[in-house]
């Protein structure tokens, strides 16, 4: 069975952002099946809409099928205080942070976890977030230097650490 990779962009993202086209191409060269869906209303992401979209999008997965793993890039469970954020932005953050994550279930179904952070990400504080991913999921933590938020504004067009992590999870293919 061909190995599948799902790349899910974040808030205000899209499938052509930053390093996504590069990693998609690199994985396809290695015969992975790669999916990079455009998430709904990414400038105003509502957790309910995103979860429903992903359930529908991933609907062809078998019930309780285990994932080989997950690689989180600038993933967050806490953000730098949004002093200058709009009330709309603050409400979006509140909605996402209000969701209780079942880390035990995630560990059971999720396989291996890797979390990649940057030492100069203005939104995602390293210490707080890396600690949660390591403690709750047993994630391997990678700290990149000078990659910002890994987005177009940061100029990150390739992300070899993410590719290496995916290949390691997939068994070195």
DSSP string for residues in 29-49: HTT-EEE----TTTTS--HHH
Cβ neighbors of 60 (< 8 A, separation 6 or more) are none
pLDDT tens by residue, 104-123: 988 888 889 999 999 999 99
pLDDT tens by residue, 10-39: 999 999 999 999 999 999 999 999 999 999
pLDDT tens by residue, 91-107: 888 898 888 889 998 88
Closest residue by Cα to residue 23 from 39, 41, 5: 5
Q: Which two tokens stand for residue 167?
A: 């290949």
Across the range 59-73, mean pLDDT stands at: 77
Mean pLDDT lowest among 52-61, 133-142, 157-166:
52-61
pLDDT band at 173 (very low <50, low <70, confident <90, very high): very low
- Domain around 125: 4-169
**Over pLDDT 90: what percentage of the chain?**
70
* Distances 4 to 34, 47, 51, 152 between C-alpha atoms, Å: 6, 24, 19, 25
CA dihedral 54, 56, 61, 63 (to 10 degrees): 100
pLDDT, averaged across the chain: 91
N-terminal to C-terminal alpha carbon distance within the chain = 13
Number of domains observed in the structure of the chain: 1
Q: Which two tokens stand for residue 137?
A: 């999921």
**Domain harbouring 13, CATH code:** 3.40.50.1820
As a whole number of angstroms, the distance between CA 170 and CA 173 comes to: 6
Is 132 within 8 Å of 77 (Cβ atoms)? yes
Give, as one character, the DSSP assignment of residue 69.
E
pLDDT of residue 147: 97
Is the overall model pTM greater than 0.85, yes or no?
A: yes
User: Coil, helix or strand for 6?
Assistant: strand
Q: Which two tokens stand for residue 81?
A: 């205080």
């Amino acid at each position: 069975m061909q190995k599948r990779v799902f790349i899910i962009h974040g808030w205000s993202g899209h499938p052509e952002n930053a390093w996504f086209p590069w990693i998609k191409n690199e994985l396809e060269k290695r015969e992975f099946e790669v999916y990079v869906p455009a998430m709904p209303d990414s400038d105003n992401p509502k957790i309910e809409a995103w979860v429903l979209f992903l359930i529908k999008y991933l609907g062809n997965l078998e019930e309780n099928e285990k994932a080989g793993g997950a690689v989180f890039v600038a993933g967050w469970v806490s953000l730098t205080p949004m002093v200058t954020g709009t009330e709309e932005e603050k409400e979006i953050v509140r909605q996402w942070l209000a969701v209780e994550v079942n880390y035990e279930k995630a560990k059971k179904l999720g396989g291996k976890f890797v979390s990649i952070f940057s030492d100069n990400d203005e939104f995602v504080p390293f210490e707080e977030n890396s600690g949660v991913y390591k403690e709750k999921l047993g994630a391997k933590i990678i700290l990149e230097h000078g990659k910002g938020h890994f987005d177009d504004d940061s100029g990150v067009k390739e992300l070899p650490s993410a590719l290496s992590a995916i290949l390691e999870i997939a068994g070195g293919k």
